Amino acid sequence: MLSFFGVVRMLLLFEKAKQTRRLAMKLLNDPKFKQEILERLRTVRPDSPRRWGKMNARQMVCHLSDSFLGAMGERSTQIAPGYPARKLIKWVALYVPLPWPKGVPTRPEFDQEICGTPPADFSEDLRGLQMLINRYTEQPRKFQFQSHPIFLEMSERDWMRWGYLHMDHHLRQFGV
């Protein structure tokens, strides 16, 4: 059994861990982390080799654009069936400090080989993605966030965390 001081110490450690996690949390609307993502994005080339998955670099750029458009309500999305513990999955995906797993199936509306936007001119697609990132993080926001296909309702903070993590996941997929 813990003593009074043991409980107090544990609560203080828990609070310190929460503060540390908050400080380390990378959000896409933080100018420093947005700049990091945009700089990494500029190093992607149409022939950048993938480290895992099926999509090529050109498809990845369109996939990310489609995903931001879906979040902003400018692209139709479908709620994914079969996720009974959505809140837990969302919390783990967004706030547990681990990289996202490789090989998670892409939703059909964001899969460039199914219903996603096919790649066109790489430099134009890349410029379009950069503009979408700017619109997505702009304040005041000129759109309403939609429900996420798996996580459902998300706060603005959740969406900014998702935006950073989704970009990071795919940039790492191409070694940048």
Q: Which CATH number fits domain 26-173: 1.20.120, 1.10.3470, 3.30.2130, 1.10.10?
A: 1.20.120
Domain boundaries, the chain: 26-173
Q: Specify the pTM.
A: 0.84
pLDDT digit string, tens, across residues 42-54 = 999 999 999 999 9
Tell me if 132 sits within 8 A of 68, measured CB to CB: yes
Burial class (CB in 10 A: 0-12, 13-18, 19+), 46: middle
Tell me the percentage of the chain whose pLDDT exceeds 70: 86
The stretch 24-48 carries a mean pLDDT of 96
pLDDT exceeds cutoff 70 at 8: no
Per-residue pLDDT at 11: 57
Confidence grade of residue 10 (pLDDT, cut at 50, 70, 90): low
Nearest to 38 by CA among 148, 151, 162, 133: 133
Residue 99: which pLDDT band, with cuts at 50, 70 and 90? confident
